[in-house]
Amino acid sequence: MTTPFDQPTFEAGFATARGWFLAQVATTGALVQMAIIALAVIVALLAAPRVRGWIRTWHRRFDSDSRLGQKTNVVVRRLTIALIPLIVPILMLPLLAAALATARTAGWPAQHLNLATSLLGAWVVIRLTSSVLRDRMRERLIAGVVWVLAALNIFGLLGDTFDTLGRISFTIGSLHLSPITIVTGLVWLAGLLWLASWSARQIEDRLLSISGLAASTQVLFARLIKVMLIIGAVFIALGTIGIDLTALAVFTGALGVGIGFGLQAIFNNFVAGLILLSERSLKVGDFVDLDHGHLAGTVRKISVRNTIITTPDNIDVAVPNSEFVNGRVTNWTMLDAHARIHVPFGVAYGIDVETVRAVVFEAAEQVPFTLQGDDNRKLLLWLVKFGEYRLEFELVVWLTTEGIHRPAGARAAYCLAIYNALRKHGIEMPFPQRDLHIKSAIPLHVDRGDPL
């Protein structure tokens, strides 16, 4: 019986290892390849400090550019942080790839160069991808695909695998599809969609930085450009797998029917959003009043499907865009940042009106929501009605921008200021009452009955 540590077994294993070492490692070709790999390491180490300095300088310039969006700076910062520790392997890759291509062209041994290039390239791709994506599921998916491709390349099976997958095909009409074609199309689609979204964010950031362009126009252009970029990305991805784009006419017609039935509300809101942005009847920052006062707030965002309104209670409400087009909307700040409100109150008969005016004006000027310094928008006091038991007035006051965005709070502040001022000066605010005067009466006879 033999064991792994028997002398014959050990000698046989040693002989096998020695033979492999002499055939694969201790050859002139293998030693030359190892020398090339070592030379690539030395060159990369020598060039790495200068390249790191260039990257840090470029990153500082990029980060200080206020025209670029915050999201872009975050992505670039992540990429820069990931690049700096990977400078040496990244610099080694083109050197090893050039040496590998030269060796294959000349017919020299290149298995060690192929191994080093495949493993190093896979590791760099996975590290860069994980630093930018920050998504565990996508990181694992990409890492698995990259390692499988690297392993196939190391064992020389990558080309044969692609050829085998390419021969497995099926036909849909005039379209021939294979696993390779489908995977290629999906990769193109994912990459182009990411590129389209990234480009749309850059364009939107640039548009938002243009001071001479209205906010609604900026948002409109940004939305249209994003939609066009996404549609273009889809069409290009479909073209990569051999789909004739003219054949999409039937699909487009079916899609139109689907929009007319199933997606009518969504499409209606999308068109309504474009109308709002193009007409400039609504823009970010406006204070609007919908549903007859049941919903009022500041417009925070106008998206493709709905508009986000923040109420004075700091509650975000998503309102479908169609409600702004089909319903009645009061925009307090559409053309002017200031508006006025009417605050009704009443005082008893017999009070001097000028005294009431002076007292109320003094109180209103102390409220922080009152617009100051505009002679054309002064405080007004209107005597609007002779009531049954009081003189009815309305204080007409122009509000500041803060007051417009807090109408309920502003009205409450003026009511409290008027009440305190009238009470301080002894001006009566009568409660509802009715006086009854009897001019004549019918005598009332009371029969007390017989005495007991």
Would the CA dihedral through 358, 363, 366, 372 be positive or negative? negative
Binned at pLDDT 50, 70 and 90, residue 418 comes out as very high
47 within a domain of the structure (yes/no): yes
53 within a domain of the structure (yes/no): yes
d(CA 449, CA 230): 103
Q: What would the pLDDT profile of 369-403 be if each residue is shown by its tens digit? A: 998 888 788 899 999 999 888 999 999 999 988 88
The beta strand positions in 196-313, using DSSP E, are 287-290, 295-302, 306-310
Report the pLDDT value the prediction gives residue 384, as an integer from 0 to 100: 92
Q: Are the beta carbons of 208 and 218 closer than 8 angstroms?
A: yes
Binned at pLDDT 50, 70 and 90, residue 293 comes out as low
Q: What is the pTM of this model?
A: 0.44
Residue range 157-181: average pLDDT? 69
CA distances for 441 relative to 434, 444, 448, angstroms: 20, 9, 21
179 within a domain of the structure (yes/no): no
Lowest mean pLDDT among 13-17, 159-163, 196-200, 201-205: 13-17
Where does a domain end: 151, 168, 194? 151
418 lies in which domain range?
339-424
429 within a domain of the structure (yes/no): no
81 within a domain of the structure (yes/no): yes
CA torsion 271-275-276-280 (nearest 10°) is 160
pLDDT higher than threshold 70 for residue 170? no
Per-state percent for the chain, helix, strand, coil, to nearest 5 = 60, 15, 25
pLDDT higher than threshold 90 for residue 146? no
Q: What would the pLDDT profile of 49-92 be if each residue is shown by its tens digit? A: 888 888 777 767 666 554 444 555 566 666 777 777 788 888 88
175 within a domain of the structure (yes/no): no
Average pLDDT, rounded, for the chain: 77
Domain CATH code at residue 371 = 3.30.70.100
Count of helix runs (H) and strand runs (E) in the chain? 15, 10
Binned at pLDDT 50, 70 and 90, residue 260 comes out as low
255 within a domain of the structure (yes/no): no
- The residue behind tokens 């300095």 is 53
Report the pLDDT value the prediction gives residue 69, as an integer from 0 to 100: 46
Where does a domain end: 101, 128, 151? 151
Domain count for the chain, please give it: 2
212 within a domain of the structure (yes/no): no
Where does a domain end: 129, 151, 173? 151
Residue 168 DSSP code = -
